[in-house]
Amino acid sequence: MARRILAAGNWKMNKTPSETKAAIEAMKATCASEETEVLLCVPSIDIPAALEAAAGSNIQIGAENVYFEDSGAYTGEVAPNMLTDLGVKYVILGHSERREYFAETNETVNKKMIKCFEHGLIPIMCCGESLTQREQGVTMDFIRQQVKVGFLGLTADQAKAAIIAYEPIWAIGTGKTATSDQAEEVCKGIRDLIRELYGDETAEEIRILYGGSVKGSNAAELFSKEDIDGGLVGGASLKPDFGDIVNYNK
């Protein structure tokens, strides 16, 4: 079965609820597609406004993070059932910014992965290396560890439903982009690891995204690669021009 291309936006800490409504209203026409799956992951406070604005369109709304407990004294956190109660299906986990600024680890990402599947959420688990790690030639060693720990305890059915986003840290928000061959090499390595862990069927079904300065001008080349199934897009997903990525094949 062919893997459907996913254009997923990560809004990070941008836009108020009123700005969210206006932005999504402007995107409805530009992001319309019968072929590409479209997702915007927005700040938690913007989710209700985003869902309202996206209603009736092909744009799905996801979250940028979730906690690994169902409830409790965890001030400022968002529980998985809070997201599902709103109608959210997808959530980003382990983004490099969460790891760098908020002490996320492979182990906490794993707890969140498990908790997502308990509640029917589909995790988009991020992985990626720094420029120093790439220059030292340890890219795949580092990413294999992130994925192996992140997926620890997941069944094959859960693994094939999950999404992995490869985002080289040196290419996020810098204007630098891994070449399509560099991105494909790592995404293939990730798929090969999933094959080692879960077998051919899971490896062929799991979707692997590339993230890192994806834009309309390079989306077609990136998404044409055998092991790249779409993109996790930052700044370019905040504007109607996101439609150029969604409709990369037009």
Task: List active site positions.
Answer: 95, 167
Residue whose pair of structure tokens reads 């092909």 in the numeric block: 58
Contact partners, residue 137, CB within 8 Å, separation at least 6: none
Length of the chain: 250
Q: Is 196 left (phi over 0), alpha (psi -120 to 50) or beta?
A: alpha
Q: Are 92 and 124 in contact (CB under 8 A)?
A: yes
Q: Are 209 and 163 in contact (CB under 8 A)?
A: yes
Q: How far apart are CA 233 and CA 9, in angstroms?
A: 5
Six token digits for residue 4 = 């459907």
Q: Is 10 helix (H, G, I), strand (E, B) or coil?
A: strand
Cα distances (Å, whole numbers) of residue 161 to 120, 164, 174, 179, 216: 10, 10, 30, 27, 27
Six token digits for residue 166 = 């490869």
Buried/exposed 8-32: b ≥16 CB within 10 Å, e otherwise: bbbbbebbebeebbebbeebbeebe
Cα distances (Å, whole numbers) of residue 125 to 164, 165, 190: 5, 6, 12
